[in-house]
């Protein structure tokens, strides 16, 4: 599926906005913070873990880096899907956040 440059950026912006709204729901409840400079979004945990989300315009992908691994998401059927693991991006972020905060708050 070919995505035009303008459409790609619109889709990424919409996805990042959805992730930020999800994070805002937990504002003050969890020790994490995020910042977005337009091309890179960083989610930082008090435990020094972080998630880095970048848009790869040339490849029309979103890349997600965690402390232990990198994931590449391509837009298919109205979703960002991981090439290897077949995770959907937003669900992947939610599960990763739960895993990291569960370790801290539910021991």
Percent of the chain with pLDDT over 90: 56
What does pLDDT average to over the chain? 87
Q: 5-101 sits in which CATH class?
A: alpha beta
Bridge partners, residue 70, by sequence: 65
Residue, of 45 and 63, whose pLDDT is higher = 63
For 71-99, the pLDDT digits (tens) are: 999 999 999 999 888 899 999 998 888 88
What pTM was estimated for this model as a whole? Answer: 0.87
Contacts of 73 (CB under 8 A, 6+ apart): 61, 62, 63, 64, 80, 81, 82, 83, 89
């Amino acid at each position: 599926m070919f995505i035009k440059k303008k459409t790609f950026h619109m889709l990424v912006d919409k996805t990042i906005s959805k992730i930020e709204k999800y994070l805002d729901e937990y504002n003050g409840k969890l020790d994490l913070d995020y910042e977005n400079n337009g091309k890179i979004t960083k989610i930082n945990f008090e435990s020094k873990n972080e998630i880095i989300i970048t848009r790869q315009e040339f490849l029309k992908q979103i890349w997600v880096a965690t402390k232990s691994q990198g994931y590449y998401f391509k837009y298919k059927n109205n979703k960002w899907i991981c090439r290897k693991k077949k995770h959907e991006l937003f669900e992947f972020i939610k599960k990763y956040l739960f895993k990291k905060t569960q370790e801290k708050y539910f021991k």
